[in-house]
């Protein structure tokens, strides 16, 4: 069987779902290809922190823009998407990290974000279960939290109700205007979007995207134990490290009252099983910041893979070697946050509609150097 449509979206994680929704809203005929559970990949593993980050100006612009899109969409999300705006507190352990608070504050203020610097006392007032003696923090009250698989499903349903169709198959090959499916069907389209997350290189060989493994721990309901998403500022250093395994204090209040605990980053770890060593380091780091967490009951642990790129920015736009192939991957630890903005950029690139932010920093061409290609062959 062979069929034609304006665009094919491969993968129905939150990124693919957002792309499908935008393209369907633009009036395109869209076919979404996904063999598994909707939002069952990295989207099901992620914390769902909708956070503005400022590792680079391009990251800041992208995350801020996307967060605003979430704020607009929020009232329409189903209750099971558990959308809430608890805000983030970037926790500073010492005076060095307080300097990072000041730097971050000045940048966030210029973007009009609602921020407040907390001293040691104010920090404890906001989060009584933190260890006393921490230097302070930066409260960013516009940051949100949601439950990603339900949000992804909502976005996909929007696409489907605007005429998109869903095929429950795996794609085996994509390029030159064709996508071959596991059941032997061939779909044709001048626009094929690879939104496979960390699996993106499987259908686009040579893509400079690496899986970066993360662990999470969830507790039983303990309402009020944590009130904001809390992230240590040391995280800025550890997340930035490109090679070494790292852990950071990163806890999140779920709407259910549960506490979700991250985060770890590992390269060269490809198997899904829980790695006791890194889990231990992550939990010990959590206890150092929040000793009271010891008494909570842990229900479950799991892992997921972020799609990491060398420059920590996503790959959104045409594949340099194939004009029919488009990429929407490489979101590392920010794909939930930036899914909606990714959908907008893909729409802009494919339909020529206006874009509210420049697309250049995210275009894939920048990442394709002969050296990186051979490294992944």
Partner 1 sequence: MRNRNEYTYDVLVIGGGPAGIAAACAAAPHARVAIVDENPALGGQIWRNSFPARQSHPSGPWHNRLQQTQATRLHGLRVFDAPAFNTLHAEAPDGLHILRYNKLILATGARERFLPFPGWTLRNVIGAGGLQAMVKSGLPVAGKRIVVAGSGPLLLAVAAFLKSHGAQVVAVCEQAPPRQLAHFATSIVAYPSKISQAVQYRTQLAAVPYRIGWWPVTAHGKSQVESVTLTNGARRLTLDCDFLACGFHLVPNTELPALLGCSLHNGFVAVDSLQQASVPNVFCAGEITGIGGLDKSLIEGSIAGYASTGQNSPARKLFAKRNKALGFAAAMERAFAPRPELRRLPAPQTTVCRCEDVAHELLQQHDSWRSAKLHTRCGMGPCQGRVCGAATEFLYGWPGESIRPPILPVRFDTLAEAEKPTAQH
Partner 2 sequence: MPDAITITVNGAPVQVPSGVTVAVALTLLNEPCRTSVTGQPRGPLCAMGICYECRVTIDRISNRLACQTLCVPGMEVSTHA
Ligand X SMILES: Cc1cc2nc3c(=O)[nH]c(=O)nc-3n(C[C@H](O)[C@H](O)[C@H](O)COP(=O)(O)OP(=O)(O)OC[C@H]3O[C@@H](n4cnc5c(N)ncnc54)[C@H](O)[C@@H]3O)c2cc1C
Residues 6+ apart with CB under 8 A from 173: 179, 180, 203
* Residue among 182, 146, 197 nearest 9 (CA): 197
Residue 323: HSE in the Cβ half-sphere, 13 Å Cα cutoff: 1
Q: Which structure tokens are listed for 320?
A: 């340099």
Q: Alpha carbon of 324 to those of 6, 21, 187, 189, 317: distances in Å?
A: 11, 19, 13, 8, 11
Q: For residues 225 and 326, which CB has a smaller minimum distance to partner 1 in the complex? A: 225
Q: For residues 49 and 104, which CB has a smaller minimum distance to ligand X in the complex? A: 49
Q: Work out how close the CB of 281 gets to ligand X at its nearest, in angstroms, rounded to a whole number.
A: 15
Q: Interface with ligand X includes 11 (CB under 6 A)?
A: yes
**Do residues 121 and 135 touch, judged by C-beta distance below 8 A?**
no
Q: Work out how close the CB of 208 gets to ligand X at its nearest, in angstroms, rounded to a whole number.
A: 15
Q: Interface with partner 2 includes 220 (CB under 8 A)?
A: yes
Q: Interface with ligand X includes 253 (CB under 6 A)?
A: no
> Counting beta carbons within 10 angstroms of the beta carbon of residue 354, is it exposed (0 to 12), middle (13 to 18) or buried (19 or more)?
exposed
Q: Interface with partner 2 includes 260 (CB under 8 A)?
A: no
Q: Work out how close the CB of 114 gets to ligand X at its nearest, in angstroms, rounded to a whole number.
A: 19
**Do residues 302 and 215 touch, judged by C-beta distance below 8 A?**
yes
Q: Work out how close the CB of 284 gets to partner 1 at its nearest, in angstroms, rounded to a whole number.
A: 6
Q: Interface with ligand X includes 13 (CB under 6 A)?
A: yes
Residues 6+ apart with CB under 8 A from 348: 354, 355, 359
Q: Interface with partner 1 includes 131 (CB under 8 A)?
A: no
> Residue for token digits 């069907």?
185
Q: For residues 24 and 42, which CB has a smaller minimum distance to ligand X in the complex? A: 42
Q: Interface with partner 2 includes 217 (CB under 8 A)?
A: no
Q: Interface with ligand X includes 336 (CB under 6 A)?
A: yes
Q: Interface with ligand X includes 167 (CB under 6 A)?
A: no
Name the one range near ligand X by CB under 6 A: 131-139, 274-282, 335-343, 355-363. 335-343
Q: Alpha carbon of 93 to those of 135, 151, 230, 353: distances in Å?
A: 5, 34, 12, 45
The site string for ligand X over 195-224 (x = CB under 6 A, - otherwise) reads xxx-x--xx----------x-x--------
Q: Which of 293, 339, 340, 363 binds partner 1 (CB under 8 A)?
A: 293
Q: Interface with partner 1 includes 143 (CB under 8 A)?
A: no
Q: Interface with partner 1 includes 183 (CB under 8 A)?
A: no
Q: What is the rounded CA–CA span in Å between residue 331 and residue 327?
A: 11
Name the one range near ligand X by CB under 6 A: 11-19, 90-98, 133-141, 356-364. 11-19
Residues 6+ apart with CB under 8 A from 323: none
Q: For residues 256 and 372, which CB has a smaller minimum distance to partner 2 in the complex? A: 256
**Do residues 340 and 69 touch, judged by C-beta distance below 8 A?**
yes
Q: What is the rounded CA–CA span in Å between residue 22 and residue 158?
A: 9
**Do residues 330 and 308 touch, judged by C-beta distance below 8 A?**
yes
Name the one range near partner 1 by CB under 8 A: 12-20, 195-203, 295-303, 342-350. 295-303
Q: What is the rounded CA–CA span in Å between residue 307 and residue 219?
A: 26
Residues 20-49 that bind ligand X (CB under 6 A): 33-36, 40-43, 45-49
Q: Which of 34, 143, 153, 232 binds partner 1 (CB under 8 A)?
A: 153
Q: Which of 103, 111, 121, 221 binds partner 2 (CB under 8 A)?
A: 221
Q: Work out how close the CB of 304 gets to ligand X at its nearest, in angstroms, rounded to a whole number.
A: 3
Q: Which structure tokens are listed for 169?
A: 């198959």
**Do residues 179 and 41 touch, judged by C-beta distance below 8 A?**
no
H or E segment at 323? strand 322-329
Site for partner 1, rule CB under 8 A? 37-40, 44, 80, 149-150, 153, 217, 219-220, 273-274, 276-277, 279-281, 283-284, 286-287, 293-302
Site for ligand X, rule CB under 6 A? 10-16, 33-36, 40-43, 45-49, 170-171, 195-197, 199, 202-203, 214, 216, 262, 304-306, 329, 331, 333-337
């Amino acid at each position: 069987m062979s069929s034609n449509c304006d665009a094919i979206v491969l993968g129905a994680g939150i990124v693919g779902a957002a792309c499908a929704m935008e393209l369907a809203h633009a009036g395109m005929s869209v076919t979404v290809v996904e063999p598994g559970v909707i939002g069952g990949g990295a989207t099901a593993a992620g914390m769902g922190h909708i956070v503005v980050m400022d590792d680079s100006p391009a990251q800041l612009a992208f995350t801020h823009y996307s967060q605003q899109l979430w704020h607009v969409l929020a009232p329409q999300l189903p209750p099971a998407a558990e959308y809430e705006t608890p805000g983030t507190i970037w926790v500073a352990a010492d005076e060095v990290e307080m300097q990072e608070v000041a730097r971050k504050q000045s940048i966030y203020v210029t973007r009009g974000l609602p921020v407040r610097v907390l001293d040691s006392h104010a920090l404890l007032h906001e989060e009584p279960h933190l260890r006393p003696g921490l230097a302070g923090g930066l409260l960013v009250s516009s940051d949100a939290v949601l439950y990603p698989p339900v949000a992804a499903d909502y976005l996909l349903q929007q696409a489907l109700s605007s005429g998109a169709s869903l095929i429950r198959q795996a794609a085996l090959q994509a390029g030159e205007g064709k996508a071959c499916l596991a059941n032997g069907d061939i779909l044709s389209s001048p626009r094929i979007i690879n939104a496979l997350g960390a699996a993106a290189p499987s259908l686009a060989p040579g893509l400079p995207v690496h899986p970066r493994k993360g662990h999470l721990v969830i507790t039983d309901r303990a309402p009020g134990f944590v009130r904001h998403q809390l992230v240590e500022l040391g995280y800025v250093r550890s997340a930035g490290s490109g090679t070494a395994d790292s852990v950071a204090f990163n806890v999140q209040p779920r709407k259910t009252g549960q506490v979700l605990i991250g985060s770890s980053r590992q390269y060269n770890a490809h198997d899904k099983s829980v790695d006791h060593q890194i889990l231990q380091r992550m939990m010990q780091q959590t206890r150092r910041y929040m000793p009271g967490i010891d008494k909570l009951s842990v229900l479950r642990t799991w892992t997921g893979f972020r799609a990491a790129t060398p420059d920590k920015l996503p790959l959104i736009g045409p594949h340099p070697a194939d004009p029919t192939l488009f990429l929407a991957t490489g979101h590392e630890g920010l794909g939930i946050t930036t899914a909606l903005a990714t959908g907008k950029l893909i729409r802009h690139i494919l339909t020529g509609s206006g874009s509210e932010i420049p697309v250049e920093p995210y275009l894939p061409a920048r990442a394709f150097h002969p050296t990186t290609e051979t490294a992944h062959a």
